[in-house]
Structure 1
């Protein structure tokens, strides 16, 4: 299905116009009795509230909805969020963007902090290179808060926040369940999975909940047998020992345990621990010059991503105040290896670098580079907050927040049989070494106040004072036998980071300031309200791993008008928002000399758009859900690497990653069939075209990600205790793209990261 940009605009405007007409006509068509929509309770403002009462643009996918949409990971739920886009190179390496706030970051380990935060319950799980990709099972809901959320959620909530809320232990009674799945991937192999949970009361005031999962995702990209000739020498190599079909397989397994203890009627404590391991083989991108889903890799590609998080939440009341402490400690280890022969090939072809990468006898060598990485993260966060009663005319939430995250970085760029004279000292076969420690700290105090001016008008305001301190120290570069200016030759002291040959980087940057939010909400009645919000968000600055000038913080200003409405006796829910945002001093990361990432502040950009979502119970058993966004994100001034240099991206050029239009529609019908409950469901998701790069020259080289439309179908039966369901994701096997990129600044081979091909499968589950 192909949809032109002009037709997209007509479709989006038609959808909005139709929805508005429906809303206007709703009172006349109102009916009494019959099926209604369920109330959705969220905690976006750190309180339990009805979704329709919260003056924020929020989408919430509850347990039932997540199951219906066959959601198991981040990619599955993001496609149903029209104001959210992602770039992903492999499992665990995903960058999230919201409302077009994107400059084309490459998620380098020394790059900017993310602009969208991800929370697991009360604790942030966004590491320096991106969030944890948490398997979605036994999840109460996923909340998506669009726009700056810096007042309550801090630095990495500049453009928005995603919250994953788990199902909590309950002493109300025993419950358990499991689900089994087998599936087949087009152009690929067979996948399967098992998931289960147990909720066990421990008396009247305590309970434990245990959850586990083991998932095998089949591969669908073929590593073709091929040869590669390096001009210097010349030397020809092949990948006969690595050629394989469907070589990008993924195995994910993990567990979660939570204990809830009600100490008395006022106080409870909930410790929890969760861990996950994801082992991925192969590459998750292909070479379009070889054909769809085909590539040629000459060194192994793999990653082993392990993490665990221990968390503690203490909740209670003192007098009429609600008190909450939420703390967490997380560790993450990533052991990876990736082929970097593209870099070696193009630098040898263009500049003859192969002459320097010989063996000890000076003979021509297989100069294929590959990267061996060992990344170790820690993250701790502590928040204490106090709130006055939610039913009072004047409501206040205030608190303190502290966060510290570290990243111990080891990246070895290796060439087998490399001459010892050009190695980095102490690191055999290593032409380049990054051995650094990055530490990011965030300290904040915040307050949020709401007052009911009248029965219909409420004013809210919030402010967050912050202090950020980010540092980078250690070593990066070549050995002294290879470069007389960089790497070891530039060292000014002995090792600081264990294992480094010496120290050539030691920098620190500090920021302090505030973000704030002002909001006015007007309730026409119990079912319809509008709001107007002005809010700000920020990201701290940081240190470039090449040294030199640090990059400065960037700031986002948001003006938003929104509405929350319910019609037809709670059979139709229509929410939406119109927004305009200004992004000042945006942080832009790009590949510079020697393929190293450089981060600079790029000037000004602006975003404007409209987002809407609708839920409608048309008849008994028949429900329609839809959501769409229309976003125009562009540069507000010319981008230049140097104020006196050439224009690299002109004013008015669209920002990368985010399509102008994205939307989805889901129809579900449930009915009784004999002694069973049956259902059938269909979903369509459309994503418009977008560039993955900001600069004009990069766009000309890399090209544009085309628009695409996917269809999902499910059908199933249940008798209450057991259920069986057949499903198809991406039914027509659309070749959508998540990213387009090159390996280095002089590389011209484009790698494309696709969406998953068609998956057809069956699920069976039981509940007890």
Structure 2
């Protein structure tokens, strides 16, 4: 095994290297450039990183400070096998080794319930959340550990392709510590930024210590929201109105279409973000064997404006019509008790997180894609009469989405382990988790009240002005709201999603001889998830409450509208009760009685209550002909999973400094239920013939075979780690966004199977006492190996690469130290170059169709590259009358350059740095939300000053 190095003063070259490598730290000048060990807890034991037969990267606290690593984006900059994608602070997901799918739509991520494939941990507590991974500010962190490959046996759900662990500095009873860090910077073409962080560690007694850190980071924007006017395009809207919900523009020559402008919110540098928070922890040693730790962290991210740009407009520019905002608050409390009983190490740890998100998102561009747009936008007579001479007034197209989501999670874990120095050593534990997520998402349309009121006047000749929002709430389990919060709310999602898990896990390690060790770990888990609530619509209210006493006009297509006891129109008569839907499916799965589905009607028998519009008979037929699988729905409407996953490894110490290892490992991501389970596509032509929304996106599993080497060479001045892996993914989950063909916008389904093969490399080299060079690289090959037949012609074909998976990514960093004898100080220079190769965006081949939409709606293409995957996409012809090609947008390759120079003396440090020297955009395309692409880009060249003082 690797020899442990004695403690003591560390070489200056290693100290300097801490700024640029994950495994070096130091404080003083010395002549021995040997690399120091880094201790990690990747196996829930403290071990030398080089002894762990897992691909692990550990970024130390010193390294983070020296590289000015503060936020979620910064975490992954020097991790080439990790990709971060999303739409701004607190709204991102991470992918490791290419195991990526379609990016989740932030507007409905809490409702669709997709779990990330990479778990995020705060110390011992999992804090993962689909599309909104917790953006913990990197204040006073001991290190960040990134474990690549499946870690499910020890870390559970979502540790499918790896996990990221944020390890905080703990209270120290041995000495007083304090620090103050201050920074300020300015971004090219943008606003100024500043940050301050303070830490104090107080040993109150020889047994009790308290540690406190507080921070505030104000990040100036650089994206401009430019003056623009939006006018709905009739051709675009008509071709998406596949089911005929509302008037077709082509039928009304006298249509009057209004526009909207964004004059009131035109602004430069409008994407501002502020991080404010604190963390306090207390550690107490009860005696020599037992100790306790409790930590409390609170943080708020306040974002104004949008971090998305429109690639067709040029550098860092957007056209938004709503003052977007995102407030993300969370409180985490964790606790740990550890000690020894009968020569066994015992650990109990638990945690509770309470997270609240309030966001406002521009939704105006939904006019270019929604199948129901003219129903809400225009007042055209869709029933009978001379349409050529009938008025069709289309009102203010401004639309916005208001999100109020909460996420609460409670976890407990108890584990026992034997002496780690024994030849046979083991660990066993039990884990429980309860997660409760509520989501109220309001789709607020400025046009609806005018459009509905205008129709009442034009058709009936009189009537009171219409007002959406006058809705009753159905007595439905899982709804948490008493009604919409805005008189603009045309419909809204009101859901509660619960997850509970119990797992038993263990690991056994055995030294077969002095050099060969075998390890086996397993996890038996039982997981229950349930989606409840309703989507509440204005369907049926278009004609107003007075209409309820009359016959339905010919061709209306709807039954009589219902009224509340006080005479108001009851929009919930057309609501989609997800609770009832899943209960009905579960009941039918249990008893097989067709009447279970067919009998579900509204009180007046005018429609199918189970469907919330549509046909119960069609859903039943889909089940009976095999197009809809409901076997994963229990009789109580929940989905239950129970399985065992395993991990086996062999590691061989070729020498004291070189280890070879092989691994077989498994990981999983939980199943998720769909709010529109069993609904057929509105468009049932071409590739959508027979298409039905799945009831459940079943668990996708990942199997990994990996071979690796970890070694130290040249008298331990060179550290080189490498791994080769082959990964198979079964039933890959994907988030689908296709509103013009499939109702209800976004849902989850299993796209098929995929594989990911690659090589990870990282090295650190100290050629002299003054110079450290380090780097890392990832080589990756991915492809879809099996496609769900229902997705042929919609998703890209078999053989296509997975999204967000560049074939090569890498970085190289260097730091040179030198003495400043006149100052009695140490000076240094650092440089870093990171490269990310090109990749594709999304799994659905909609790029050509989206560009065609952009030309029709705005008169311009996106300007983004496209990768043709072969064949055609969908069923809707482009402006040339042809089906568009099955293609995806390309994320171009990007190279980032960072440089810095600093001076260290005694307890203080001053550094001048430049990040993104060449202002590389590095766009990551977002394919969901606007019907023409948007992208996130890197912050342009930023010049800053950092000051630090240690007491």
TM-score by length of 1: 0.91
Alpha carbons of 1:73 and 1:531: their partners in 2 closer, same or farther (altered >3 Å)?
A: same
- Equivalent positions of 1:250-269 (< 5 A) are 250-269=273-292
User: Counterpart of 1:463 in 2: which secondary structure?
Assistant: strand
Does the C-alpha gap of structure 1 residues 493 and 379 become closer, same or farther in structure 2, counting only changes over 3 Å? closer
2:772 matched residue in structure 1: 623
Q: Quick one: structure 1 residues 492 and 389, their matched pair in 2 at CA, closer, same or farther if it must change by over 3 Å?
A: closer
Q: Distance in 2 between matches of 1:104 and 1:319?
A: 50
Shift of 1:697: 3.1
The equivalent of 2:724 in structure 1 is: 578
Alpha-carbon distance in 1 for matches of 2:578, 2:795: 38
Match of 1:404 in 2: 434
The corresponding residue for 1:198 is: 200
Deviation (angstroms), 1:305: 0.5
Whole-angstrom CA distance in 1 between matches of 2:638 and 2:906: 59
Distance 1:241 1:421, change over 3 A: closer
Are 1:336 and 2:359 matched, yes or no? yes
Q: 1:357 to 1:659 in 2, by over 3 A?
A: farther
CA 1:628–1:339: 2 relative to 1, 3 Å: same
Instruction: Give matches, 1:667-686, under 5 Å.
Output: 667-674=814-821, 675-686=824-835
Match of 1:450 among 494, 500, 509: 509
**Pairs within 5 Å for 1:337-376:** 337-347=360-370, 354-356=377-379, 364-376=394-406
Alignment of 1:508-587 (within 5 A): 508-548=638-678, 549-587=695-733
- The one of 307, 323, 326 equivalent to 1:300 is 323
Q: Secondary structure at the match of 1:76?
A: helix
Q: 1:743 matched to which residue of 2?
A: 929
Match of 1:44 in 2: 42
Structure with greater proportional strand content: 1
Alpha-carbon spacing, 1:504–1:456, altered in 2? closer, same or farther (3 Å): same
Q: Secondary structure at the match of 1:410?
A: strand
Find the residue that maps to 1:137 and give its secondary structure. coil
Counterpart for residue 595 of structure 2: none
Residue from 425, 429, 435 that aligns with 2:494: 435
Residues 372-391 of structure 1: matches in 2 within 5 Å?
A: 372-391=402-421
Highest Rg: 1 or 2? 2
Shift of 1:202: 1.0
**Greater mean alpha carbon deviation, residues 290-299 or residues 526-535:** 290-299
Equivalent in the alignment of 1:13? none
In structure 1, the partner of 2:532 is: 473
Contact between 2:777 and 2:810, CA under 8 Å: does it hold in 1? yes
* 1:40-189 map, 5 Å: 40-106=38-104, 108-109=109-110, 110-189=112-191
Q: Does 1:591 align with 2:727?
A: no
- Aligned to 2:50, the other structure's residue is in SS state helix
TM-superposed CA distance for 1:138, in Å, is 0.9
Aligned to 2:236: none
Residues 650 and 493 from structure 1, CA distance in 2 versus in 1: closer, same or farther, beyond 3 angstroms? closer
Match for residue 664 of structure 1 among 792, 802, 811: 811
Q: 2:247: which partner in 1?
A: none
Question: Partner of 1:18 in structure 2?
Answer: none
SS of 2:407's equivalent?
A: strand
Taking a change above 3 Å as real, the CA distance of residues 47 and 251 of structure 1, as seen in their structure-2 partners, is same
1:212 matched to 2:398: no
Of 768, 792, 797 in structure 2, the residue corresponding to residue 650 of structure 1 is 797
* Structure-2 separation of matches of 1:685 and 1:282: 28
Deviation at 1:602, TM superposition (A): 1.6
Q: What is the aligned residue count?
A: 725
Q: Is the 8 A contact 1:422 1:481 kept in 2?
A: no
> What is the CA distance between 1:68 and its match in structure 2?
2.0
1-structure distance, mates of 2:928, 2:358: 23
Report the CA distance shift for 1:667/1:596 in structure 2 as closer, same or farther (over 3 A).
Answer: same
Secondary structure of 1:65's match? helix
Distance across 1 between alignment mates of 2:399 and 2:78: 39
Match of 2:448 among 418, 425, 434: 418
User: How many angstroms does 1:589 deviate by?
Assistant: 1.1
| Conserved 8 A contact 1:588-1:601 | yes
For 1:760, the equivalent position in structure 2 comes to 943
CA distance in structure 2 between the aligned counterparts of 1:649 and 1:345, rounded to whole angstroms: 23
Query: Tell me, what secondary structure is at the counterpart of 1:342?
Result: helix
Output one character per residue of 1:178-231: Cα deviation in whole Å (capped at 9) or x when no partner: 111110011210000000100000111110000010000010100011112235
CA displacement 1:714-760 (0-9 Å, x = unmatched): 1100112111000111111111113332425xx2x221111221111
Secondary structure of 2:574 counterpart: helix
Select 2:230's aligned residue among 228, 231, 244: 228
- Cα distance in structure 2, aligned partners of 1:292 and 1:527: 50
Contact 1:629–1:661 (Cα < 8 Å) also in 2? yes
Q: Secondary structure at the match of 1:131?
A: coil
| Corresponding position of 1:688 | 837
Per-residue deviation, 1:684: 0.2
In structure 2, which of residues 564, 574, 585 is the aligned counterpart of residue 489 of structure 1?
574
Q: 1:271-308: CA deviations, max 9, x gaps?
A: 11001000001110111222111111111110010001
Q: CA deviation at 1:130?
A: 3.5
Asked whether 1:720 is paired with 2:906, we answer yes
Residue pair 1:315, 1:322 contacting (<8 A) in 2 also: yes
Residues 420-454 of structure 1, C-alpha deviation per residue, up to 9 Å, x if partnerless? 36557143321121000011112100011100000
Q: Which moved more, 1:753-762 or 1:483-492?
A: 483-492
Cα distance in 2 for residues equivalent to 1:383 and 1:743? 39
Superposition deviation, residue 111 in structure 1 = 3.5
- Listed as ranges, the gaps of 5+ residues in structure 2 are 1-29, 234-254, 382-390, 450-465, 472-482, 543-557, 560-570, 582-608, 613-635, 679-694, 851-887
Is 2:707 the counterpart of 1:705? no
Alignment partners' CA distance in 2, 1:665 and 1:689: 18
CA offset digits 1:492-521 (Å, max 9, x no partner): 69999xxxxx99898421111011100001
Distance 1:629 1:599, change over 3 A: same
How much does 1:639 deviate?
4.7
Native 8 Å contact 1:544 1:550 kept in 2 = yes
Q: Check conservation: 2:277, 2:297, Cα contact below 8 A.
A: yes
Q: 1:375 to 1:627 in 2, by over 3 A?
A: same
